[in-house]
Amino acid sequence: MERDEAVKELQKESLQGLSDKDLLFLIESYVTKRNDYKNIARLINGDEDVIAKMIDSDRVFNKVMSCTERILAISPYFLFSLLLRRAFKEKRKDVKFIEKAIDALNSMEPVIPWNKERLMSLLEDTHVSNYIANMLAQFIESSKLFSIGDDEKISHQYIVDMITDSLHSDNIEKFHIYCHIGNYTLFLAGMIPEYIKYRYEYKRRPVDKQYYVGYGKTYYGLASGHTNARKNRLTGTLSQLSEGFEAVAQVLSFMNREYLHPAKAVLA
């Protein structure tokens, strides 16, 4: 994979380009009064507005959540798109979340203060949810979590190692490393914050969640200002992830706890 192609992996999949398998699963879950599924698939294939309406429906969500084989029946991208869009939707209605998120975001003294309108804009940004769905679909392979680009032989488990690599990289590779640091920190802070807490409290690692938040905001910000962000139409998305990192991480934690591991949510 060429390095420029590696950058495109960050937004490889979209609702417009669902696989035939995902599209048929979506239609079978949504449509109740017809059974000509393949004909419907031909009609709606590539129509993002129609597909988005279907994937956001309670009918499809409930079908996925009640299906014991849901991970095997659909692609990781489809699953994460559905769950992320649902999580963002739920958090838009959560008054306590909104208040706490605004307070957390403003505690970092942003150039432009956060308010409800600005937070709603972030939570409604489908480019952000699509970017994260692509990232999560890649990171379910642990080798992708710790490797940058296509070279899985070189593992990076520490942010400082990634930063060191960026100092000796060309312009394209710098952009990819900046994005990877942002993705890596968001994944840890959002999907497995208990791992960070455990290492900090019991393994005496001198880095807490705020450490990852700080690096995530910084490197998503560097990525958003890079020429390759403009080339790949990622400037706005990466800027949103940088400035709204804390809120996005909280949405990821909610999704993971409530939808992927509901048993843990009940115990909590």
Please give the pLDDT value at position 158. 72
Give the start-to-end residue ranges of the domains of the chain. Answer: 20-74, 76-267
**Please, what is the end-to-end C-alpha distance for the chain in angstroms?**
43
Q: Which two tokens stand for residue 126?
A: 């489908």
Answer whether residue 71 shows pLDDT above 70.
Answer: no
Model pTM score: 0.86
Answer whether residue 134 shows pLDDT above 90.
Answer: yes
Could you read off the pLDDT of 7-64 as tens digits, one per residue? 666 778 899 999 999 999 999 999 988 888 889 999 999 899 999 999 999 999 999 9
Answer whether residue 1 shows pLDDT above 50.
Answer: no
CB neighbour class for 1 (10 Å; exposed up to 12, middle 13-18, buried from 19)? exposed
Q: Among 226, 267, 259, 250, which Cα is nearest to 10's? A: 226
Calculate mean pLDDT across residues 114-135. 97
Q: Which two tokens stand for residue 44?
A: 């709606």
Summary mean pLDDT of the chain: 86
Non-local CB neighbours of 184 within 8 Å, separated by 6+ positions: 145, 159, 162
Please give the pLDDT value at position 202. 59
Give the Cα separation of 173 and 7 in Å (integer).
Answer: 9
